[in-house]
Each structure stands twice: as C-alpha cells, then as structure tokens.
Amino acid sequence: MTEPVLSAKNLTKRYGKVTALDNCDFELYPGEILAVIGDNGAGKSTLIKALSGAVTADEGEIYVEGKQVRFASPNDGREAGIETVYQTLAMSPALSITDNMFMGREIRKKGWMGKLLRQLDRKAMEDFARQKLSDLGLMTIQNISQPVETLSGGQRQGVAVARAAAFGSKVIILDEPTAALGVKESRRVLELIQDVKKRGIPIILISHNMPHVFELADRIHVHRLGRRLCVIDPKEYSMSDAVAFMTGAKEPDGPRAA
C-alpha cells in the first residue's frame, strides 16, 4: 500500500465537556479525492481544523508524508502545503480581492523599495489574482481591487477556492465549497477540483451534497460521533447507503469497508 500524504491517528479534541473528536483516524492517499460526510455536529469541521492547523488536537498524531508534524497555527499547515477553504471563508470584507488572496504571503517589490521599505508589489499580485479567477470562470467579478464585501456570496466562495487552488501544494481541503454557489459556479468548482486532482494534488472535500460527493470522490470517509465510522467506495454503495451510515440508520458490514 502506498504511503498516505496526510494521515492522523487517535485525534481527540475536547471543548470543555463537549468531545468533538474521539480517537479519530484519518488517511488521505496521493492523487485521490476523499469526501468526508457526516451529520451536523459529527465533528467534521473540527477534524478539518485539526488537519489544517486551525485547532490543535489534545491527543493524537498527524503525519504529512509519513513525517509526524505538529501544527500550532494555520500558518504551520500552510507551510506544510495544506491549503484550506473554511466554511466561513476567512476573508476580510473591507479589503480587496487581491489583499485577501495574498493575506499572510504578500509579494514584496523587487529592489530596495521592497527590501528596505517592504513595499508590496501590487501589480504582480493583481495579475496573479486575475489569472486565478479567470481560471475558475469567475468572470462576473468586475474589479480585482474591489472590496470582498461588495461580492455576492458565491463570488466570495469562488475567491476563497481560487486562493486555495493557487497556493495548495500538497493537500487542498474544501469545507462545503459549493454550499453558497449557484449552479454554474458549483460546476466550475467541481471542474476545478478535478483539475487540481489531475495536477496530482489530493483533495479533502466536505460536503452535504450527495450527488457532488458521489460524482467526484474516490473514497468516502463517513464521520459519526467524533470518529471515522467507515470508509466506503462510492462505486459499491448508493447514496442512500451513505446517508444511512452517517445518520446511524444502518451499520457498516465490516469493521472497515473498502
């Protein structure tokens, strides 16, 4: 068996008396799209945050390409090549699209203005942002320097996805990437996910949209009550099976299907 790109063992996270993750295991293999499904409150978001560095698990280990890592902040995750689109999108509404895309990894001007005065290279950043948005088919954005708050919900989501796709080098995590999108934008995001997969970068996709999950995913991680219930192959199970597993209406046959 090949080595997982990103894996976790026995992750546990408690918030006061609430146990969000309960000895959860996780594996993501090279080049695959892994969907994570589960009911509300099952701990999907906490799992994602632990893997991206936004929260630090109380117990358990995380491995990137076999090497154990410890993420104390989202920046640690980003440095390890893990890029995340959070459900909240994590954008600053008053700042421009470009500013948001480059937040925390701004490009400085070449020469003394950049070295000494740390001046940003606005043009390079804007060109890059424009390129990424047009790759995503987000053509309804009129001005790259307009504040994010003037965008529609779908456009904001598109910008967030474009940001992750542009910078993710090892793993891209998408938390409900199509939840706020229109039909056309969702389709672009799904295409983009496949594009990214073709580039060989594995993707973790959290979604409630079963048709999208079954269309894209190579494997489906079913999350229930803070842990991995089972991993299923979408070709062998139906959508209603998956829903039955995640809601607890049906128990998986083996200890680990697929």
When binding is defined by CB under 8 A, the residue of 1, 72, 94, 116 that contacts another protein is 94
DSSP for the chain reads -PPPSEEEEEEEEEETTEEEEEEEEEEE-TT-EEEEEE-TTSSHHHHHHHHHTSS--SEEEEEETTEEE--SSHHHHHHTTEEEE-TT----TTSBHHHHHTTTSPPBPSSHHHHTS--B-HHHHHHHHHHHHHHTT-TT---TTSBGGGS-HHHHHHHHHHHHHHH-SSEEEEESTTTT--HHHHHHHHHHHHHHHHTT--EEEE-S-HHHHHHH-SEEEEEETTEEEEEE-TTTS-HHHHHHHHHTSS--SSSS--
> Are 114 and 94 within 8 A, CB to CB?
no
Smallest distance from another protein to CB 252, Å? 24
When binding is defined by CB under 8 A, the residue of 20, 35, 37, 99 that contacts another protein is 99
Q: Does 169 bind another protein (CB under 8 A)?
A: no
When binding is defined by CB under 8 A, the residue of 48, 141, 213, 230 that contacts another protein is 141
Q: Does 81 bind another protein (CB under 8 A)?
A: no
Smallest distance from another protein to CB 256, Å? 28
Tell me how far apart the alpha carbons of residues 231 and 220 are, in angstroms, rounded to a whole number.
Answer: 5
Q: Does 105 bind another protein (CB under 8 A)?
A: yes
Q: Does 139 bind another protein (CB under 8 A)?
A: yes
Q: Does 92 bind another protein (CB under 8 A)?
A: yes
When binding is defined by CB under 8 A, the residue of 7, 45, 100, 178 that contacts another protein is 100
List the interface residues with another protein, window 205-224 (CB under 8 A). 211
Smallest distance from another protein to CB 88, Å? 7
Tell me how far apart the alpha carbons of residues 21 and 10 are, in angstroms, rounded to a whole number.
Answer: 9
Q: Does 90 bind another protein (CB under 8 A)?
A: yes
Residue 146, phi then psi, degrees to nearest 5: -80, 145
Q: Does 16 bind another protein (CB under 8 A)?
A: no
When binding is defined by CB under 8 A, the residue of 118, 123, 250, 256 that contacts another protein is 118
Measured in whole angstroms, the distance separating CA 122 from the mean position of its chain's CA atoms is: 27
Q: Which of these ranges, 24-32, 61-69, 185-193, 246-254, lies near another protein under the rule CB under 8 A?
A: 185-193
Smallest distance from another protein to CB 21, Å? 19
Q: Does 137 bind another protein (CB under 8 A)?
A: yes
When binding is defined by CB under 8 A, the residue of 10, 23, 140, 152 that contacts another protein is 140
Which chain residues interact with another protein by CB under 8 A?
A: 54, 73-75, 78, 84, 86, 88-95, 99-100, 103-106, 108, 117-120, 122, 134, 137, 139-142, 149-150, 163, 183-184, 186-187, 191, 211
